[in-house]
Structure 1
Amino acid sequence: MLLAKLCQIVFCLKLTLQKAPSPALLPCCDRLFNSAEECAHLWRRLGWDYNVVQASEGPLHGRLRVDHQNGILLVSMQANQALLIEGTRHPRWLSFTIEHTDNYSDHRHFGEALAPNALSGFNIKMKESLLKTSAGGNRIGAVLVDRSRIDVWSELMGAAEIFDRMERNNTAILSPAAHRKLRQLMVLPPWQGMDVPHPFQADLLEAQLIESLSSKNSTLLRPVVKTHHSDLVQELVRYSFRSSTTPISLSSVCQTLFTTKTTLTVSCREMFGCGPIALMRRIRLQQVRDVLANPDLRQQLGCHTVQQVAVHFGFVSRNHFASAYRELFGEAPRTTLLASH
């Protein structure tokens, strides 16, 4: 009964929002990616300013799909390796996120472990994202709701309690049944080629989200408290991407970030599982891979050989570079280069 009533309210909400002209909507997107940099490029094309870091070793294979319907975006990102995603949330869309595979043992959100049956990311006031997924295969699903819809939820539904929860919290622990219903409505269609549209039940999905956030179906955890450690990891990731061609020095990094070696090392290991120098090298390695796989980037940089690209990103020792590259990506750098021709 409650869900049927919510579906009627969502239908009224859709009619209300259709009275005003809508800005341009994102197209359907269904793409495969084989590197963290490719994943980041896809997110940026869709309007999200994300940095992505491969956090576990081995060849990376992933897929990012986005469908749009009735002011709702249904997003799915899957990967066989752990990824660290850092950046700024899109100002237009509010995200409701779940893990579909139950592989959340190493998931971290601003350094906090992910709990079973969690629905996350819906805090109205947060502007940043910091998420690390688990290795071994994972799929993050997200329903992105236009903020203009959220603003009128309480007006049409009298849902002041839900709106208040979304202002104060960022994670809800759902009942197993409510979590299962959401997962069923967010099924990822089989790969059929790039950008093939697939319909989904947007109205029912929105109604299920509203019902899931009610006190009947969820218990709210404390809001995400951005700690000094999570802030440092964010700053380190951003600094690493900005300064990927300068010499690596832990002392200079600490000086730039106004912190100590101990604090930075502990913060990085908590979130990422390795020290800051290892994280910075990993980011440089994936940038090397991006250039080796892209002839246009090599032309822009004037770097046409493996050695030239490696030196550009600060790798002086050919043997150490080749070994680290092979360990992270599961192939030799020359293999990546030859495959791009």
Structure 2
Amino acid sequence: MPCCDRLFSSAEDCARLWRQLGCDYNIVQVSQGPLRGRLRVDHQDGILLVSMQADQALLVEGTRHPRWLPFTIEHTGNYSEHRHFGESLAPNALAGFNTKMKETLMRTSPGGNRIAAALVDRRRIDTWVELMGASEIANRMEHNNTAILPPMVHRKLRQLMVLPAWQGADVPQPFQADFLEAQLIESLSPETSALLQPVQKNHHTDLVQELVRFSFRSSMTPISLSSVCQALFTTKTTLTVSCREMFGYGPMALMRRIRLQQVHEALSNPDLQQRLGCYTVQQTAEHFGFASRNHFASAYRDLFAETPRTTLLASR
């Protein structure tokens, strides 16, 4: 796999880049304002080194690539609203490495964040056990998903997973794959990991995942909260509490935000406009279920800090 280093300006752009890596993710822009981000991937010796940075909070939900096991860290120390399956992320954490998990549910903090992930080929994990006698580490990875590391160990990982300066799209830069792999193994050893935490999935996080997936599937038709609850076999109170815990706002606001994202994607993409048969702001808004022109325009400006017409004109 060649180097990939791309800028993105929307959650839909970011999701498209992840799908090129084989990760079937839905991504939602959680906080309001212009989104500027970058996703970089380098490949060396059976390890993908992935860095994602963004100046808005993002929710990443979906199915992991079955081949790669992620080991993730937060570079900036901006943990204020970072959540993994609804649980707060602790400082000096190495997360995501549970070998039984097939899904991702992660929310980053607003105001600028950078996540680095070493995606290790699962066959190399098997090699750890066979050649190194690392059966205890394998057992830890099977039953846990987060390790709280000593600050010095976490700092070493950050240095090995550094994001190089932007040089233009797809400029490769080698990284120390052998040292990174050795540091990951050391980080999970009984002598290093001060605290291990299991996967903290619960009914609320399951509901959030279902709601996000339902929202993307149903994005072209406005739907009542009662109908959403009926489709997800839950109550209004449970769904609202679950959604507010993750996003800070309710399920209807989340669904509206996802529809606005898709309007933004269409207005930014002439090819998509042609496929949808929507060439004006009004046509596009109506296609995604916005009946009130004024309410739509106001919500769009609040989320993206520009008018729908400005987005459309910039695409031409």
TM-score bracket, normalised by the shorter chain, equals over 0.9
Mapped to 1, the partners of 2:139 and 2:180 lie a distance apart of 21
Cα shift readout 1:11-43 (whole Å, capped 9, x = no counterpart):
xxxxxxxxxxxxxxx321100000000000111
Residue type matched to 1:140 in 2?
Answer: I
1:306 to 281, 288, 311: 281
Q: Percent identity?
A: 79
* Structure 1 equivalent of residue 236 of structure 2: 261
Taking only aligned residues, the RMSD between alpha carbons, in angstroms, comes to 0.7
* Structure 2 equivalent of residue 170 of structure 1: 145
* Structure 1 equivalent of residue 191 of structure 2: 216
Cα shift readout 1:95-133 (whole Å, capped 9, x = no counterpart):
000000000110000000000000000000000000000
Normalised by the size of structure 1, how large is the TM-score?
0.92
Mapped to 1, the partners of 2:282 and 2:38 lie a distance apart of 30
Length, aligned pairs only: 316
**Runs of 5+ in structure 2 lacking a partner?**
none
Mapped to 1, the partners of 2:146 and 2:197 lie a distance apart of 8
Mapped to 2, the partners of 1:71 and 1:229 lie a distance apart of 35
Is 1:33 matched with 2:33?
no
Residue type matched to 2:129 in 1?
Answer: S
Cα shift readout 1:47-68 (whole Å, capped 9, x = no counterpart):
1100000000000000000000
* Structure 1 equivalent of residue 83 of structure 2: 108
**How far 1:201 moved relative to its partner?**
0.3
Q: How does 1:26-175 map to 2 (within 5 A)?
A: 26-175=1-150
Mapped to 1, the partners of 2:232 and 2:189 lie a distance apart of 41
**How far 1:45 moved relative to its partner?**
1.3
Mapped to 1, the partners of 2:145 and 2:200 lie a distance apart of 10
SS of equivalent to 1:224:
coil
**Runs of 5+ in structure 1 lacking a partner?**
1-25
Q: How does 1:225-244 map to 2 (within 5 A)?
A: 225-244=200-219
Q: How does 1:174-193 map to 2 (within 5 A)?
A: 174-193=149-168
Mapped to 2, the partners of 1:262 and 1:102 lie a distance apart of 33
Mapped to 1, the partners of 2:104 and 2:73 lie a distance apart of 15
SS of equivalent to 1:322:
helix
SS of equivalent to 1:164:
helix
SS of equivalent to 1:206:
helix
Q: Contact (CA 8 Å) 2:268, 2:315: kept in 1 or not?
A: yes
Cα shift readout 1:81-108 (whole Å, capped 9, x = no counterpart):
0000000011000000000000011000
SS of equivalent to 1:64:
strand
Residue type matched to 1:289 in 2?
Answer: H
Mapped to 2, the partners of 1:66 and 1:285 lie a distance apart of 28
Cα shift readout 1:164-219 (whole Å, capped 9, x = no counterpart):
10000000000001000000111111111111111000000000100111122112
SS of equivalent to 2:116:
strand
**How far 1:269 moved relative to its partner?**
0.3
Residue type matched to 1:93 in 2?
Answer: W
Mapped to 2, the partners of 1:222 and 1:214 lie a distance apart of 14
* Structure 2 equivalent of residue 11 of structure 1: none
Is 1:206 matched with 2:181?
yes
**How far 1:270 moved relative to its partner?**
0.5
Mapped to 1, the partners of 2:174 and 2:105 lie a distance apart of 30
Q: Contact (CA 8 Å) 2:143, 2:198: kept in 1 or not?
A: yes
Q: Quick check: which has more Rg, 1 or 2? A: 1
Cα shift readout 1:275-319 (whole Å, capped 9, x = no counterpart):
000000000000000000000111001110000000111111111
Q: Contact (CA 8 Å) 1:169, 1:220: kept in 2 or not?
A: no
Q: Contact (CA 8 Å) 2:87, 2:200: kept in 1 or not?
A: no
